A and B are shown apart, each in its own frame.
Chain A
């Protein structure tokens, strides 16, 4: 048996863990960490499918991972900038303090 199912289990666990952090945490920094976990779960999938799938001369899996890492970094940079902007107004990173917009 190939270790593919094990790796998929690991990535699914990581994704669920990230989603759980996003849904339960009130601190925006920790939510950002959760999003990064979810991105990395996808990266594990790409490498696992590439390694244990049929031969792939185009290296699509590793390509996906390289681009995903770069995008996750850009996303974190943009996210921290936005969080900082919010912090200037509320002096907090607590999501519950952000309630000026409602219908």
Chain B
């Protein structure tokens, strides 16, 4: 029963592969894009229904698979984001073999689902690799030179980070003689952290930093966002990032909570804890991401650097090392995933209409397609953190929780980092608004046919834009809908208060 959603996804993928082979032998042509999307979307929806029947339990320390409340919430979130990515259709002729493409998409989702629900190091590594190997292929599926290059870079960086992760895990195993996060926590509680534990932790954070596109490990991100088909890019930017964050929270809050317990967010704690190190990563990510985003002439690359910057905000909360900050980070990463996925969906529509994704291509979008322009407004202002959208609530909760957690002991704590985050967030307004200015203020360059039919979107593409926009508005007005379950799930799953 525990693996019902994953089983549904794998079965759907096999059905899809079978159907693709059957159609191709019958008619000599590959299965149509629409049929593949319908089958894959049905599979994801069915997996969501199956998730309702999975018994929720806390970690007994014995099983590899743990469906604790945290895993349950995030499996639902990953399936939701995965559904949006499946619905975002590829351009005409972009994907030569839709059957294989969507089957791989379902395998990637299976890996991501498995990754959210485990506290076991070996299982975590295997699940993460299942997701990663599928994602490398998905990025390169469109057989253009750009996709091939993006996929190769993603693979090379990903392979090195997987090696770092495995090497780090080997040290943790050597340190704790156990392969569970609880075992690592016990070993750390027994005495001061040895060099083995520190080396292991550093290597694991490097590996996860790649997944999250944190600053020194972000080089793959702009190329993947730009070169990949929009469908696979959507899965990478949203679902994979959310899952990376869940894994980081489990690692730091469950396995390494003890190392940093004594308020090591203060600079004096430099030797003992991981907080200061994470704080430096956060600062570098925020500065580099925001500054480089200013110079981009491609909206997809702009979104990639904004992803680096947003990872910085998330790491600010993680380095505060507290339950409320971790909850805020998990809320923010969901909101961020929705907004970026939506922005990417609009960008894909504009790209198909105008031939490129420079900000200038957005000029006059409000005349060509008013509702797309309004949706873009929702996504980008949410990313920039303007009320009343969910991005504002997310940033507010994130920064205030980081501040409150880190100043508990009366030390200035992370005040400097939160201040830096607020300044960087203000800078980010510039590049988000410059895209919106094109869409709302400028006219379409060729003038003329503005009144004529704008880009008409397929129903699936419409949903991929409309659903995240609605979700962002609803979460902005009623953030407690998601914040409260996450907070109580953290208490129940990881024992954090």
Contact of A82 (CB < 8 Å), options: B140, B227, B297, B298: B140
Interface centre among A11, A45, A74, by most chain B C-beta atoms within 10 angstroms, is A45
Q: Residue of B at shortest CB range from A14?
A: B167
Q: Is A63 an interface residue (CB 8 A)?
A: yes
Q: Inside 8 A of B164's CB, which chain A residues have their CB?
A: 38
Contact with B along A23-63 (1 / 0, CB 8 A): 00000100110010011011101101100011010001101
Q: Residue of B at shortest CB range from A19?
A: B160
Contact of B222 (CB < 8 Å), options: A32, A90, A103: A103
Instruction: Give A47-100 interface residues, CB cut-off 8 Å to B.
Output: 48-49, 53-54, 56, 60-61, 63-64, 67-68, 71, 74-75, 78-79, 81-83, 85-86, 88-90, 98, 100
CB distance from A5 to the nearest CB of B (A): 12
Q: Inside 8 A of A32's CB, which chain B residues have their CB?
A: 156, 159
CB contact under 8 A between A38 and B149, given known A60-B178, A63-B122, A68-B166: no
Q: Roughly how many angstroms separate A63 CA and B64 CA in the complex, as a whole number?
A: 13
B153 touches A98 (CB 8 A): yes
Q: Is B379 an interface residue (CB 8 A)?
A: no
Q: Roughly how many angstroms separate A100 CA and B147 CA in the complex, as a whole number?
A: 10
B148 touches A86 (CB 8 A): yes
A49 touches B174 (CB 8 A): yes
Range for the number of chain B residues in contact with chain A: 35 or more
A42 touches B169 (CB 8 A): yes
Q: Inside 8 A of A60's CB, which chain B residues have their CB?
A: 122, 173, 178-179
Q: Roughly how many angstroms separate A12 CA and B165 CA in the complex, as a whole number?
A: 14
A38 touches B174 (CB 8 A): no
CB contact under 8 A between A49 and B167, given known A71-B129, A100-B149, A103-B297: no
Contact of B136 (CB < 8 Å), options: A11, A63, A82, A101: A82
Q: Residue of B at shortest CB range from A66?
A: B122
Contact with A along B116-151 (1 / 0, CB 8 A): 000001100110010001001100100101101111
Q: Inside 8 A of B150's CB, which chain A residues have their CB?
A: 101
Q: Is B274 an interface residue (CB 8 A)?
A: no
Q: Inside 8 A of B297's CB, which chain A residues have their CB?
A: 103
Contact of A35 (CB < 8 Å), options: B159, B177, B223: B159
Contact with B along A9-24 (1 / 0, CB 8 A): 0010001001100100
Contact of A103 (CB < 8 Å), options: B121, B155, B179, B295: B295
Q: Inside 8 A of B400's CB, which chain A residues have their CB?
A: none
Q: Roughly how many angstroms separate A49 CA and B177 CA in the complex, as a whole number?
A: 8
B140 touches A101 (CB 8 A): no
B166 touches A86 (CB 8 A): no
CB distance from B247 to the nearest CB of A (A): 17
B163 touches A79 (CB 8 A): no
Contact of A46 (CB < 8 Å), options: B152, B160, B173: B173
Q: Residue of A at shortest CB range from B296?
A: A103
Q: Inside 8 A of A41's CB, which chain B residues have their CB?
A: 163, 167
CB distance from A70 to the nearest CB of B (A): 9
Q: Is B488 an interface residue (CB 8 A)?
A: no
Q: Residue of A at shortest CB range from B170?
A: A45
Q: Roughly how many angstroms separate A86 CA and B146 CA in the complex, as a whole number?
A: 9
A28 touches B152 (CB 8 A): yes
Q: Inside 8 A of B137's CB, which chain A residues have their CB?
A: 78, 81-82
Interface centre among A43, A49, A74, A90, by most chain B C-beta atoms within 10 angstroms, is A49
B171 touches A45 (CB 8 A): yes
Q: Inside 8 A of A15's CB, which chain B residues have their CB?
A: 163, 167
A82 touches B177 (CB 8 A): no
Q: Is B333 an interface residue (CB 8 A)?
A: no
Q: Is B301 an interface residue (CB 8 A)?
A: yes
Contact of B129 (CB < 8 Å), options: A46, A61, A75: A75
CB contact under 8 A between A64 and B174, given known A74-B129, A79-B155: no
In the assembled complex, 28 residue pairs joining A and B whose CB atoms fall closer than 8 Å, in A order, are: A15-B163, A18-B163, A22-B156, A22-B160, A31-B156, A32-B156, A32-B159, A39-B162, A42-B166, A43-B170, A45-B167, A45-B173, A49-B174, A49-B177, A54-B177, A60-B173, A64-B169, A64-B170, A71-B129, A75-B129, A82-B151, A85-B148, A89-B145, A90-B145, A98-B149, A98-B152, A100-B145, A101-B153
| B interface residues with partner A (beta carbon < 8 Å) | 121-122, 125-126, 129, 133, 136-137, 140, 143, 145-146, 148-153, 155-156, 159-160, 162-164, 166-167, 169-171, 173-174, 177-179, 222-223, 226-227, 292, 295-298, 301
| A interface residues with partner B (beta carbon < 8 Å) | 11, 15, 18-19, 22, 28, 31-32, 35, 38-39, 41-43, 45-46, 48-49, 53-54, 56, 60-61, 63-64, 67-68, 71, 74-75, 78-79, 81-83, 85-86, 88-90, 98, 100-101, 103
Q: Which 3 A-B pairs have the closest CB atoms?
A: A38-B163, A49-B174, A45-B170
